A and B are shown apart, each in its own frame.
Chain A
Amino acid sequence: MWDPTLFPSPAQVAKTLGHLLADGSLLDATAVSLRRVLSGYAISLGIGVPLGILLARISLLEDTVGSLVAGFQSLPSICWLPLALLWFGLNDKAILFVVVMGSLVSITTAVRDGVKNLPPTYVRAARTMGTKGIRMYTDVLLPASLPAILTGAKLGWAYAWRALMSGELLFVSLGLGHLLMMGRDLADMSQVISVMLVIIALGLLTDSLIFGSLERHVRRTWGLGTA
């Protein structure tokens, strides 16, 4: 009923998956993609979390940079690719830029909203106990917004991963997206599906192993409806 070249059977997909694993191309591609997404994600977290907290606290910043952030949020990050290619050339820097633009905005927004929704008594209480200056950020606002940061981190990870895949599909050599595209070029749908499965598996793994346990920890200490 189904054309096996368009809808490969599970057995066929499993076989291709085995081949891809055996000749190392899948592992290499995964390693390349993970390295790219992790470095982009790290940059986004490093900028996004402080930026989000500052946006929530400093109205001048919110009025200027804040609206810019809101605007960028409606722009799919892959739209940066043409510019990134011109600025950085055909290399990893361009893809890194796209990944950062994808996740930075969502992390910043989530953290900013979280900090804005904090009970104002936290800051007031800290002030009466002698907290001043930078320590208000490190000792109160940062830990207080941990649940919001986690939400932002999760969101940012999803966006970073999407941005990377679109980038790799469009042009950048190596990586999982590229491997998927090679499947298309060879009209090998079992390779396309294999790579898709790997992407899903990676997503599930990070979600349950990393974010899942972090979230459980935060929910437990904060007493946020433990499931």
Chain B
Amino acid sequence: MSRLTIHGLNKRFESGNAQMEALHDVSLDVREGEFLMLVGPSGCGKSTLLNIIAGLEKPDSGEVRVNGAPITGPGPDRSLVFQDGALFPWLSVRKNVEFGLRQAGVPRREREDRAREALGRVGLSKFENHAIHELSGGMRQRVALARSLVLGPGIVLLDEPFSALDALTREDLYVEIQELWREQATTFIFVTHNVREAVTLGDRVVLLSARPGRVQEIFDVDILRPRHIDDVDVAREAQRISAAMKLGLHPPDEYRQEADLLHRPGLRLGDLG
């Protein structure tokens, strides 16, 4: 379990001659052991933020600290679960889970035991010797979760891990991931563009604004766990956040201007083009 502080992050990307501001002055305190959701419209820089926390990208300014120490690069203390799982097809399911332990020089016996245990927790004990391509999408994401959790990371980063899955599989995984998070007592930082998903899983939901990404609003989700995506409370809270997101995309000023235009005498709707 780790505490993460993000302070004054700025990040620009060069694309041709143009510069694109991805993140603007993002500051955030992530509490120990919380399930934090990062949501925002596409292109708001939420994946960039996650990559910076993972240490895969460097910010132009600002810093990320884990338990007070600034991060210098990627490491197994902040393992990342990718959207496509990024499992290694040349390794069996268990060897995939063992990969990080192997890099850390854990002896074979212990490695195997821990990998089996992690696979057991995601319900894939029977599949340890299978090849990756033999698994369904949902099973692959479970392996990816096991591969991260087996390292005992202080922080687990998840980059839209369920977005490529069908609805039913996703619902199962919502239940399982809440369970895993509770058992592990680890900080989860989960990126998604799905507000319902965010409310279902998160203790807090951080809403990032459209490009450049900045923290628009933070929502506390006080709904009893385990939550289900179809819960009324979840739906209601999601609606509130969605409304805020839309407001961020189309500030009231714009609405007012449009409204003013509409009320100008002699102007027909067609003129607005």
Which A positions have Cβ atoms within 8 angstroms of B? 119, 121-122, 124-131, 135, 139-140, 143-144, 146, 220-223
User: Is B137's CB within 8 Å of the partner chain A?
Assistant: no
Q: Is the CB of B75 within 8 A of A130?
A: yes
- Cβ of B157: which chain A residues have Cβ within 8 Å of it? 128
CB contacts under 8 Å to A, within B127-145, are: 131-134
Taking a contact as CB atoms closer than 8 A, the residue among B56, B103, B104 that contacts A124 in the complex is B56
Q: Give the residue name and chain of the B residue nearest to A135 (CB).
A: B103
Taking a contact as CB atoms closer than 8 A, the residue among A130, A140, A222 that contacts B76 in the complex is A130
Complex Cα gap A140–B96 (Å): 11
8 A-B contact pairs sorted by A residue (CB < 8 Å): A128-B78, A129-B79, A129-B151, A130-B103, A135-B103, A144-B90, A222-B131, A223-B132
User: Is B25's CB within 8 Å of the partner chain A?
Assistant: no
Given that A223-B131, A223-B132 are contacting pairs, would A129 and B90 also be in contact in the complex, using a CB cutoff of 8 Å? no
Complex Cα gap A188–B62 (Å): 82
Which B positions have Cβ atoms within 8 angstroms of A? 54-56, 73-76, 78-80, 82, 84, 86, 88-91, 99-100, 102-104, 131-134, 147, 151, 157
Q: Is the CB of B134 within 8 A of A125?
A: no
Which 3 residue pairs of A and B lie closest in terms of their CB atoms, listed nearest first?
A223-B133, A129-B100, A121-B86
Most buried by A among B78, B86, B157: B86
- Cβ of A124: which chain B residues have Cβ within 8 Å of it? 56, 80, 82, 86
Q: How far is the CB of A220 from chain B (nearest CB, A)?
A: 8
Taking a contact as CB atoms closer than 8 A, the residue among A125, A135, A139, A223 that contacts B82 in the complex is A125
Taking a contact as CB atoms closer than 8 A, the residue among B54, B104, B131, B134 that contacts A130 in the complex is B104
- Cβ of B54: which chain A residues have Cβ within 8 Å of it? 128
Q: Give the residue name and chain of the B residue nearest to A226 (CB).
A: B133
Q: Give the residue name and chain of the B residue nearest to A127 (CB).
A: B74
Q: Give the residue name and chain of the B residue nearest to A218 (CB).
A: B90
- Cβ of B151: which chain A residues have Cβ within 8 Å of it? 129-130
Q: Give the residue name and chain of the B residue nearest to A131 (CB).
A: B103
Complex Cα gap A125–B80 (Å): 7
Other than the given A126-B103, A128-B54, A222-B131, 14 more pairs (CB < 8 A) read A124-B82, A127-B73, A128-B56, A128-B75, A128-B78, A129-B103, A130-B100, A139-B99, A139-B102, A146-B90, A220-B131, A221-B89, A221-B90, A223-B132
Most buried by B among A124, A129, A130: A129
Q: Give the residue name and chain of the B residue nearest to A145 (CB).
A: B90
Complex Cα gap A119–B87 (Å): 11
Q: Give the residue name and chain of the A residue nearest to B83 (CB).
A: A121
Q: Is the CB of A223 within 8 A of B90?
A: no
Q: How far is the CB of A151 from chain B (nearest CB, A)?
A: 15
- Cβ of B75: which chain A residues have Cβ within 8 Å of it? 128, 130
Most buried by B among A125, A126, A146: A125
Q: How far is the CB of A204 from chain B (nearest CB, A)?
A: 29
Q: Is the CB of B90 within 8 A of A128?
A: no
Taking a contact as CB atoms closer than 8 A, the residue among B76, B84, B102 that contacts A128 in the complex is B76
Q: How far is the CB of B228 from chain A (nearest CB, A)?
A: 31
Complex Cα gap A125–B144 (Å): 10
Q: How far is the CB of B155 from chain A (nearest CB, A)?
A: 11
Complex Cα gap A125–B88 (Å): 9
Q: Is the CB of B89 within 8 A of A222?
A: yes
Q: How far is the CB of B7 from chain A (nearest CB, A)?
A: 22
Q: Is the CB of A223 within 8 A of B134?
A: yes
- Cβ of B91: which chain A residues have Cβ within 8 Å of it? 143
Q: How far is the CB of A120 from chain B (nearest CB, A)?
A: 9
Q: How far is the CB of A136 from chain B (nearest CB, A)?
A: 10
Complex Cα gap A223–B100 (Å): 23
- Cβ of B55: which chain A residues have Cβ within 8 Å of it? 127-128
- Cβ of B74: which chain A residues have Cβ within 8 Å of it? 127-128, 130
Complex Cα gap A220–B88 (Å): 14
Complex Cα gap A143–B90 (Å): 7
- Cβ of B89: which chain A residues have Cβ within 8 Å of it? 221-223
Q: How far is the CB of B164 from chain A (nearest CB, A)?
A: 13
Complex Cα gap A121–B54 (Å): 13
Complex Cα gap A140–B90 (Å): 9
Complex Cα gap A129–B80 (Å): 8
Q: Is the CB of A121 within 8 A of B103?
A: no
Complex Cα gap A131–B103 (Å): 6
